[in-house]
Amino acid sequence: MTIAIVGIGLIGGSLAITLKENGFAQRIIGVDKNPDNIDKALRRRLIDDALPLAEAVAQADVVILATPVDVIVELAPRLLDLAEQQVIIEVGSTKTAVVEALRQHPRRGRFVAAHPMAGTEYSGPEAAVPNLFDGKCTVLCDTEHSDPDAVETAERLFHSIPMQVVYLDAAAHDVHTAYVSHISHISSFALALTVLAKEKDEDRIFELASGGFSSTVRLAKSSPDMWAPIFRQNRDNVLDVLDEHISQLSRFRSLLIKKDFSAFYQLMEEANAIRKIIS
Amino acid sequence: MTIAIVGIGLIGGSLAITLKENGFAQRIIGVDKNPDNIDKALRRRLIDDALPLAEAVAQADVVILATPVDVIVELAPRLLDLAEQQVIIEVGSTKTAVVEALRQHPRRGRFVAAHPMAGTEYSGPEAAVPNLFDGKCTVLCDTEHSDPDAVETAERLFHSIPMQVVYLDAAAHDVHTAYVSHISHISSFALALTVLAKEKDEDRIFELASGGFSSTVRLAKSSPDMWAPIFRQNRDNVLDVLDEHISQLSRFRSLLIKKDFSAFYQLMEEANAIRKIIS
């Protein structure tokens, strides 16, 4: 099978490595508007060759669209215009905007909205790694609007990695990811700014940073080019979760103010229930 | 050298493994008011034997006090009452309260306040691991109040691991750790509660939890028994940092409300400066 990957960054590049290594793809064509990315992807052998968009689509069986989500919304209709029997799989972090943009498209059936739930705080082809997706979960959205053979191709692709496949409608997906991904990023960005602000007065502060700190702020290294469009598209859900998060923090704050450490203890104990979720 | 470790949990147990393995200690005596912990520590061979507090101190060259910080403040004066030439090293996460409690003690010189900056979200002797401290940083506080030979013994102990040793006064230590450790824990506890609250309505929400989510909430598994006393003792500093953190989150919130994604982008870019700090 020939796979064209549009956007050879962390996600597109990691899929390229994985699908070539496991034999799902015999040939990977790279498409990227940034010649630097193409150059790096060729040198790292993430892709077999690079082609302009239309030629890549013409030669591919499957096209994976792995750009930032604002570009996905812009390119998805153009890719469907070009598609004949190809399957176009989009792998962005938000879903409502892209399925809305394609709602009336005559070739909507060739399109599959997918979200492989994995990533790191790094970006670009240099950040691509094998095994990024192993054992993780991919969400397929609104599959009733995709042709059965297109869904089946997407399922085979993700199962080959291997990933577990889960089905949600686009709106539910965007709510869920606001909770289990997007808010974590805002929290990290804000924690980083909190500590960086203090660093202006205390230049030795980071000598003491330990594993717990790194763990909670590492997402603050994430690319604004990738994340600004996600927050724009999922703004309403993210705002709901952010309000809830600020209100939870305010509960801890008011217990500190009141020096009510027994209620503070109980809140921490409630939060410990997260143990049943993440191992 | 014989080392008595009072409190055989994550920190005490991990120090026991490390100092025995690297030859700094020939014998490790365990002291713990919880017979279960002693039993586990003996079965895991973290300690050579277990003794009551006074006997353990009498037979030791160095006593490491590794209980929760409220118990540290209570036990440190009693240990100093018992000490003759022994060095008493306390390894808690807060410093002002314990150095205050010992200010007038006639044997203050035998005491060293130390904070090896490492840990995990787990607790108890079963959580003890080798290599927990390798290459990390230990803070020694108010060393001018300790006897030079006591400081020198503590330095040799931490260098043997090996750890880097840094010197701060107790008040500065407590400000710094509020920023690079304590706030990360509150943030994680609050994030866990945010998502657990939503889970009541959406029972499949955690299927999608990925690495970024786990990374930002894993500290929410931390023990309230260990953390409530830390927040109690470092309440004023933690409250300052928490206020700053809530205000940083509110900046993101108000930009989302205004849909000002270009300012939102700039805030994320500022936060990216954390890259220079954590690799």
Residues of A in contact with B194 (CB under 8 A): 179, 183, 241, 244-245, 248
Please tell me whether the interface predicted TM-score (ipTM) of this complex is above 0.90: yes
Task: Kindly list the structural domains of chain A, giving each domain's residue range(s) and its CATH number in brackets, ordered by start.
Answer: 2-169 (3.40.50.720), 173-276 (1.10.3660.10)
Q: Give the residue from chain B lying closest to A228, CA to CA.
A: B265
Whether A180 sits inside 8 A of B209 (CB atoms) is yes
Selected residue of B166, B248, B251 to mutate for chain A interface (largest A Cβ count, 10 A): B248
Whether A213 sits inside 8 A of B241 (CB atoms) is no
Token pair 């692709």 in the structure block, residue = A157
Tokens describing residue A233: 């598209």
**Closest partner CB to A274 (pick from B119, B136, B221):** B221
What is the spatial distance between Cα A169 and Cα A113, in angstroms, rounded to a whole number? 10
**Closest partner CB to A180 (pick from B213, B239, B265):** B213
Residues A252-272 pLDDT 10s: 999 999 999 999 999 999 999
Asked whether the whole model's pTM tops 0.90, one would answer yes
Tokens describing residue B160: 């043997």
Nearest CA among A99, A90, A92, A64 for reference residue A226: A92
Whether B213 sits inside 8 A of A268 (CB atoms) is no
Q: Give the residue from chain B lying closest to A250, CA to CA.
A: B246
Neighbours of A240 (CB within 10 A): 15
**Torsion angle defined by CA atoms of residues B258, B262, B263 and B267, in that order, rounded to the nearest 10 degrees:** 130
Whether B265 sits inside 8 A of A228 (CB atoms) is yes
Residues of A in contact with B175 (CB under 8 A): 202
Give the pLDDT of chain B (279 residues) as one tens digit per residue: 999 999 999 999 999 999 999 999 999 999 999 999 999 999 999 999 999 999 999 999 999 999 999 999 999 999 999 999 999 999 999 999 999 999 999 999 999 999 999 999 999 999 999 999 999 999 999 999 999 999 999 999 999 999 999 999 999 999 999 999 999 999 999 999 999 988 777 767 777 887 889 999 999 999 999 999 999 999 999 999 999 999 999 999 999 999 999 999 999 999 999 998 887
Distance from CA of A278 to the nearest CA of B (A): 6
Whether B190 sits inside 8 A of A249 (CB atoms) is yes
Residues of B in contact with A221 (CB under 8 A): 272, 274-275, 278
Could you give the C-alpha distances from B184 to A213, B28, B241, B242, B243, in angstroms and in order? Answer: 6, 33, 10, 10, 13
| Burial of B2: CB neighbours in 10 Å, binned 0-12, 13-18, 19+ | middle
What are the backbone angles phi and psi of residue A7, rounded to the nearest 5°? 95, 90
Q: Give the residue from chain B lying closest to A262, CA to CA.
A: B228
